[in-house]
Structure 1
Amino acid sequence: MFSVYKKLFSYIPDRKGLAYLAIFFSALSAMLMAGALYYLYEFLRGLLLSGNTASAAAYALVIVSMMLAGSLLYMTSGVLAHMVAFRLETNLRKRGIDGLMASNFAFFGTSSSGKIRKIIDDNAAETHTIVAHLIPDNVGVVVTPLMIVGLAFVIQPLMGFLLLLLIAIGAWQVKGMVGKPELMSLYAATLENLNSATVEYVRGMQVIKIFKTSVASFKALSQAIQAYSETALQYSFTCRRAYVSFQVLFASYILLLISAFAFLLPEREQLHLLPQFLYLFSVIGLLFTCFMRVMYLGMYQYKAVEVIDKIEQLYQQMTENKVYQGSEEELIDGSLAFQEVSFGYEEDQLILDRLSFRLEANKVYALVGASGSGKSTIAKLMAGFYKAGSGQILLGQKPIESYSQEAAMRQIAFVFQQSKLFKLSIYDNVRLGRPEASREEVMRALDLACCQDILDKFPDREETQIGAEGVHLSGGEMQRLAIARAILKDARLLILDEASASTDVNNEYQIQQAFARLMENKTVIIIAHRLSSIRGVDEILVIDQGRIVERGRDQDLSEKSGLYRRLKELYASADEWRVS
């Protein structure tokens, strides 16, 4: 358990002192509470055996004072532990956010945002009980038995040996009450699966209601419920025998003591031993409470280890295979080259196999090819979204890994087919491209991206909140705002991945104008199925099964009997197709 808390405290170096103070106050509280029981014994002995009411009154005052002080110290310990717990939760969430900020595109391609959020939020919240409640309780579990057994030996050595025997047997039984670690792991896994399946079921509830189906029809949830119930029952049965025998042990121990006191001792000795018996009777109940806390301690200790492991594993997944790990801040130029680059999303399925090519700075290139040929994969590798399996990618004549992530974010702009806008104003959405930009620069970018008609639609113009009631933007309008963001960024390398594929006819002309302004004095890579939009580019690279099979200008490639010509003919026939 100490190793668990050591790992937890490593996340809160500024609150570690409060944690140790909480431990100290909790230990002092346990000592006072145990001491109050000892003075209860002295109170009863003075009152019953000597009839000294004056000393009994003094002892009563000491008992009340110690119990009040012990309660106040325990409450103080709890407050301090809660302060530590809340800071720990905050820092663990910050750790997760730091990982998200440092992660690359590959991580988001394999992990859903819901799953990431659940791991960070749920596991950070799990630490609350481990720290806020168990720090005071754990200290009490250790200090209380030591104090009451030590005081028992002071009162009567035989009583001390009886308590030691009870503790030894109880400890052996508690070990069985905790359950097998492998079953705890299985129980935790089935519970997590049940939570995930329930979320999916709630999301699909509308479909369930429309078709009037039952929960059994949602196979994943049905199986998750069944697996959880079976595992929970199996886990409970492994703890049953130890738990029942533990309850019997404490009940029978007290019963035997009562029997021995009432029937085996003469009446004159009963009065003499009554204070000792009442002390023993009281501390057995206290020991029972301590043992019950130890039983739950095993479960929470397992949870604590699992919580930290999950967050650390998530952080490792977020930051591993990170592309930008260097310190270079500036590009010599906007050139780009692939040297024997191989890559596959799965280790045994290569999409690119030893691909090599070079793109000169400040020229416009187009990547064309059938779906699945590797165009988008090449673009994502150019942008550093994924790390090449082998070979080298040169950006500005230097390995892409030599740049810092901040430098790459400044020098590379990527406009997707479906651009994302945030729940911010239009102005703030565009300013994300370069947060330090002035208002004049942001407004100029909006103007260059042909966004004036968008602003004219709303009374608040650029201050209009995206996502607010009454704010409706078409796909083409959202794309123009994304282009304005890219214009403001003014990166040296621009990648357009099917950026105009889903635009409507009304927006297409304005978007093409915006693209023309965006592409000035930049190295531009366009991925397009609409071949009519790339006729004027400097060079076209035809991709087939991860290889460049043709390369040249539109006119030159059209004159050859190659793949580009076939694609162009297919595009022309598809464009002329009409429903009769």
Structure 2
Amino acid sequence: MGNVYKKLISYGKEKKHFLFLTIVFSVFAAFLQVLAFYHLYKLLENVILLDDMSNAKRYAFLIAGFLAGGGLLYFLSLILSHLFAFRIETNLRKFGIDGLTNASFKFFDLNSSGRIRKLIDDNAAQTHMAVAHLIPDNTGAMITPVLVLVLGFFISYRVGIVLVVMTAVSLVLLKYMMGEQQFMKIYQASLEKLSSETVEYIRGMQVVKIFGVDVRSFKALNTAIKEYAQNALNYSLSCKTPYVLFQELFFGVVAILIPVILLFTKAGSDLKLMSLELIMVFFLSGVLYTYIMKVMYLSMYTFQAQDAVSKLENMYKDMQEDVLQFGDKTEFKNHNIEFENVSFGYKKDNLILENLSFKLEENKSYALVGASGSGKTTIAKLISGFYNVNDGEIKIGGENITSYSKEALINEISFVFQDSKLFKTTIYENVALANKDASRKEVFEAMRLAGVDGIIAKFKDRENTVIGSKGVYLSGGEKQRVAIARAILKDAKIVIFDEASAAIDPDNEHELQKAFSNLMKEKTVIMIAHRLTSIRNVDEILVMENGKIIERGSDRELMKKDSVYKHFQDTYKTANDWRVADESVH
């Protein structure tokens, strides 16, 4: 337990002084609370045993004052501990998000967006209760029961013995009230799985609505719901018996002690004295019950916090797996790209590329063509430094890409995806993020070259138009033009189009082709193409099959041969002719 708190405190060390004040306030709050019960005993002693009401008012004010003072100090300690907990929670989220920015692409391949959100957001939140109540409740739990037992023996040895027995039995039961740890771990794992699957289900809600399916049609989510329900029940049942016994111990104590008092009274004991002791047992056992319950909940929160921190730190380790270790070179002699005997697989036992070698000269345009799964996108990702290769080398400018600094490599490569992601901010900011040092004039020039000026002209707020839930929605082709404007502004020497023209609508095709032309000037361009009409003017076409380059040449050269590429073009033309004929019939 101590280890997890050391870890948690380390994430909020800039607010560590809050802890000292929390301890001080908690200690004084505990003393004031017990002093209130001491004066309650003195009040009852005067009223019940001595029939003296002369000091009742003074004792009543003292009790109220001590309880109010203790409550105020406890409240202040809670405020400080909650502020500290919020800082830790914030820093844990920053820790997770900072890790994401440097995480390997392998990490994103293995983890869904729902699971990543759960790992960072929910696990950071789970630490809050443990930290917020760490000092106030731990301090109270250590000091108050001891002071209550001392007060019990001060009242009488009988009260002291009853309270000691209740405390001892409750501590034994406390161990079992949290349930079996194995059930707790299974419960937490099923909750995480349910959260992850729910997020993925919501992301696919458009498909759900289109096909009119319900949650039972989604096997993973349906299974997660059933597993969570069963595991929650198992965990609850493991806590049930000790918790019921604990409740009976405290709430049944008065019912048990009443016949005992009657027996002592018959034996000649003082009824008034026994009644006073019974009342004090009732009040003091209530105090013990409160703090033992706090310890129980604190134990639960601590377990959750330990589990949460462990998951966050394990996630961070997973993020660092397979991350490229970059060097410090910043200058490129040229932008020739070379693969030397490169072997790579997303899983080590399933290679996508094997002993692949080829060279691409700078300032030329290339197209990678092949069936799905042939390795086209994999090559693009490896050039960009997204993954470590299993064997071989990838060079730019005659140097291994890992010899350059990460920033240098990023600055030299632009990637335009088929489904370009835009942030929920203005069109201007979506373009400007590509180059933080660019002037407003340069941003507008990039927008003009990409044809984005025609898009913003349609909107009242022009470049300040917000994209997304609070603003407008752009078509696929319009999004592509914004993405190309980013790439133009970045002005990287190597540009990779990952099927960027695969789903262009006719209305945007002309504008996009102009944008592509502006972007490709004096660049080394690699196009991953499904739309074969868009690659006829590139300098060279590389035809891929099963992770190997089986043909290479210009469109004219390859079309003269009985090549795989010619077969692709003929099939593509036939499919288009059939589609046009089919549309004319309708």
- TM-score, normalization by structure 1: 0.90
Paired AA for residue 346 in structure 2: Y
- Superposed, 1:508-527 pairs within 5 Å as 508-527=509-528
Partner of 1:550: 551
Return the offset for 1:213: 7.3
Secondary structure at the aligned position of 2:356 is classed as strand
CA contact (8 A) 1:324 1:403 kept: no
Partner of 1:491: 492
Paired AA for residue 581 in structure 2: V
CA contact (8 A) 2:118 2:195 kept: no
Q: How many angstroms apart in 1 are the aligned matches of 2:312 and 2:463?
A: 40
- Superposed, 1:364-375 pairs within 5 Å as 364-375=365-376
Secondary structure at the aligned position of 2:259 is classed as helix
Secondary structure at the aligned position of 1:79 is classed as helix
Task: Give per-residue Cα distances to partners, 1:404-426, cap 9 Å, x unaligned.
Answer: 33333321101112222233332
Paired AA for residue 371 in structure 2: A
Task: Select between 484-493 and 557-566 the one with higher mean Cα deviation.
Answer: 557-566
Q: How many angstroms apart in 1 are the aligned matches of 2:455 and 2:205?
A: 37
Paired AA for residue 381 in structure 2: K
Secondary structure at the aligned position of 2:16 is classed as helix
Task: Select between 351-360 and 246-255 the one with higher mean Cα deviation.
Answer: 246-255
Partner of 1:481: 482
Q: How many angstroms apart in 2 are the aligned matches of 1:123 and 1:520?
A: 48
- Superposed, 1:226-245 pairs within 5 Å as 226-245=226-245
Alignment of 1:579 onto 2:575? no
Q: How many angstroms apart in 1 are the aligned matches of 2:471 and 2:238?
A: 59
Partner of 2:405: 404
Secondary structure at the aligned position of 2:190 is classed as helix
Q: How many angstroms apart in 2 are the aligned matches of 1:356 and 1:115?
A: 37
Task: Give per-residue Cα distances to partners, 1:298-334, cap 9 Å, x unaligned.
Answer: 3222211122223223333334322254333333322
Taking a change above 3 Å as real, the CA distance of residues 242 and 423 of structure 1, as seen in their structure-2 partners, is closer
Partner of 2:357: 356
Return the offset for 1:71: 0.9
Partner of 2:316: 315
Paired AA for residue 335 in structure 1: N
Alignment of 1:538 onto 2:539? yes
CA contact (8 A) 1:343 1:389 kept: yes
Partner of 1:45: 45
Task: Give per-residue Cα distances to partners, 1:336-389, cap 9 Å, x unaligned.
Answer: 222222222233211111222222332222222222211111111111222323
- Superposed, 1:323-338 pairs within 5 Å as 323=324, 325-338=326-339
Task: Give per-residue Cα distances to partners, 1:435-476, cap 9 Å, x unaligned.
Answer: 221111112212222444334433443333334889564433
Alignment of 1:278 onto 2:279? yes
Partner of 1:141: 141
Return the offset for 1:127: 2.7
Partner of 1:425: 426
Partner of 1:415: 416
Task: Give per-residue Cα distances to partners, 1:43-74, cap 9 Å, x unaligned.
Answer: 33345555665666554443332222111111
CA contact (8 A) 2:126 2:301 kept: no
Partner of 2:504: 503
Q: How many angstroms apart in 2 are the aligned matches of 1:204 and 1:475?
A: 19
User: Which runs of no fewer than 5 residues in structure 1 stay unpaired?
Assistant: none
Taking a change above 3 Å as real, the CA distance of residues 467 and 288 of structure 1, as seen in their structure-2 partners, is closer
Partner of 1:392: 393
Q: How many angstroms apart in 2 are the aligned matches of 1:256 and 1:424?
A: 68
Q: How many angstroms apart in 1 are the aligned matches of 2:530 and 2:273?
A: 100
Return the offset for 1:208: 7.3
Q: How many angstroms apart in 1 are the aligned matches of 2:541 and 2:490?
A: 26
Partner of 1:346: 347
Paired AA for residue 148 in structure 2: I
Taking a change above 3 Å as real, the CA distance of residues 368 and 467 of structure 1, as seen in their structure-2 partners, is same
Q: How many angstroms apart in 1 are the aligned matches of 2:466 and 2:247?
A: 63
Aligned alpha-carbon RMSD (Å):
3.1
Taking a change above 3 Å as real, the CA distance of residues 181 and 376 of structure 1, as seen in their structure-2 partners, is same
Question: How many residues are matched?
Answer: 580
Paired AA for residue 345 in structure 2: G
Taking a change above 3 Å as real, the CA distance of residues 455 and 292 of structure 1, as seen in their structure-2 partners, is closer
Taking a change above 3 Å as real, the CA distance of residues 236 and 396 of structure 1, as seen in their structure-2 partners, is same
Return the offset for 1:219: 5.0
Paired AA for residue 117 in structure 1: R
Q: How many angstroms apart in 2 are the aligned matches of 1:314 and 1:133?
A: 26
Taking a change above 3 Å as real, the CA distance of residues 60 and 513 of structure 1, as seen in their structure-2 partners, is closer
CA contact (8 A) 1:324 1:384 kept: no
Q: How many angstroms apart in 1 are the aligned matches of 2:127 and 2:215?
A: 33
Secondary structure at the aligned position of 2:39 is classed as helix
Alignment of 1:176 onto 2:173? no
CA contact (8 A) 1:343 1:350 kept: yes
CA contact (8 A) 2:150 2:160 kept: yes
Return the offset for 1:146: 1.2
Taking a change above 3 Å as real, the CA distance of residues 254 and 506 of structure 1, as seen in their structure-2 partners, is closer
Q: How many angstroms apart in 2 are the aligned matches of 1:251 and 1:22?
A: 32
CA contact (8 A) 2:384 2:410 kept: no
Secondary structure at the aligned position of 1:579 is classed as helix
Q: How many angstroms apart in 2 are the aligned matches of 1:65 and 1:412?
A: 70
Paired AA for residue 11 in structure 1: Y
Partner of 1:89: 89
Q: How many angstroms apart in 2 are the aligned matches of 1:468 and 1:187?
A: 35
Task: Give per-residue Cα distances to partners, 1:479-505, cap 9 Å, x unaligned.
Answer: 222212111100121111222222234
Q: How many angstroms apart in 2 are the aligned matches of 1:199 and 1:317?
A: 21
Return the offset for 1:433: 1.6
Taking a change above 3 Å as real, the CA distance of residues 267 and 303 of structure 1, as seen in their structure-2 partners, is same
Partner of 1:10: 10
Q: How many angstroms apart in 2 are the aligned matches of 1:564 and 1:453?
A: 36
Taking a change above 3 Å as real, the CA distance of residues 202 and 66 of structure 1, as seen in their structure-2 partners, is same
Taking a change above 3 Å as real, the CA distance of residues 397 and 54 of structure 1, as seen in their structure-2 partners, is farther
Taking a change above 3 Å as real, the CA distance of residues 459 and 59 of structure 1, as seen in their structure-2 partners, is closer
Return the offset for 1:168: 1.6
Q: How many angstroms apart in 2 are the aligned matches of 1:276 and 1:472?
A: 74
Return the offset for 1:252: 4.9
Partner of 1:151: 151
- Superposed, 1:221-300 pairs within 5 Å as 222-265=222-265, 269-272=270-273, 275-300=276-301
Q: How many angstroms apart in 1 are the aligned matches of 2:113 and 2:271?
A: 70
Secondary structure at the aligned position of 1:341 is classed as strand
CA contact (8 A) 1:324 1:408 kept: no
CA contact (8 A) 1:41 1:278 kept: no
Q: How many angstroms apart in 2 are the aligned matches of 1:199 and 1:143?
A: 45
Taking a change above 3 Å as real, the CA distance of residues 223 and 101 of structure 1, as seen in their structure-2 partners, is closer
Taking a change above 3 Å as real, the CA distance of residues 292 and 507 of structure 1, as seen in their structure-2 partners, is closer
Paired AA for residue 151 in structure 2: L
